[in-house]
Amino acid sequence: MKTVGETLQRMREKKGISIEALSKQTHIRPDYLRAIEANEFPLLPSPAAAQGFIGTYATIVGLEKQTALALLRRDFEVTTKHILPKELFTKPRKSGLSTRSRAGLFFGVALLVIVSYAAWSFLHLHQPPSLTLTYPKEGSQVPETVIVRGATATDAVLEIDTLPVALNQDGEFAQQLSLSSGDHVITVIASNRQNQETIKQINVHVE
């Protein structure tokens, strides 16, 4: 939605009239005309003069004077002392929520958090622990002394080839194994308090 200044400028340019030519026709200084187009009305001598200039400008470019002044009053607070944007006088909107509505909203959010946590806890307690093995890789050739690395749930109990393995605070582990020459299957078991297990095996070869 164009302001009065933008509308007048567009109509002037459409007619191919320069600021200097318009100044000669209206007897209004060029800097005042530019101020009107930029909606910088405090740069004009007075609000009354500004409205007179706008009416004269509008008539020359083919816009009805009353229409131009209506556009001015739509976007600006016009008094005998100033012409300022209306948003400067707009009061902040009050919240549309009553105290009861805010309380209901708070209760709803709290209930959603509780239900979400309960669902997460249920799934967490009824699923076997996660288990990721990062080294060695399946089918790889390893030395006789190899370090098995990976990660599981922080509250899981871990065994590698029946040996208990300690976890760090992030659930990561690194356990050294001594293997003889030949093919081996390394078995890693992670279990939780409900005795649910996740088992992974890696086939390796030792020269």
Residue 94 CB: number of other CB atoms within 10 A?
6
Query: Is the pTM value of this prediction over 0.95?
Result: no
According to the 3-state scheme, what is the secondary structure of 117-137? HHHHHHHHHCCCCCEEEEECC
Distance of CA 174 to the CA centre of its chain: 40
- Average pLDDT, rounded, for the chain: 87
CATH class of 4-89: mainly alpha
Q: How confident is the model over 152-161, as pLDDT tens digits?
A: 988 888 999 9
* Token pair of 98 as six digits: 């009553």
**Are 202 and 134 contacting, i.e. CB atoms less than 8 angstroms apart?**
no
Q: How confident is the model over 48-69, as pLDDT tens digits?
A: 999 999 999 999 999 999 988 9
Tell me which of 57 and 124 has the higher pLDDT: 57
Q: Given this model, what pLDDT does residue 125 score?
A: 60
For 39, 108, 186, the CA distances from 10, given in Å and listed in that order, are 13, 53, 80
Q: What is the largest CA-CA distance in the chain?
A: 105
The full set of domain ranges for the chain reads 4-89, 131-206
What fold characterizes domain 131-206?
A: Immunoglobulin-like (2.60.40)
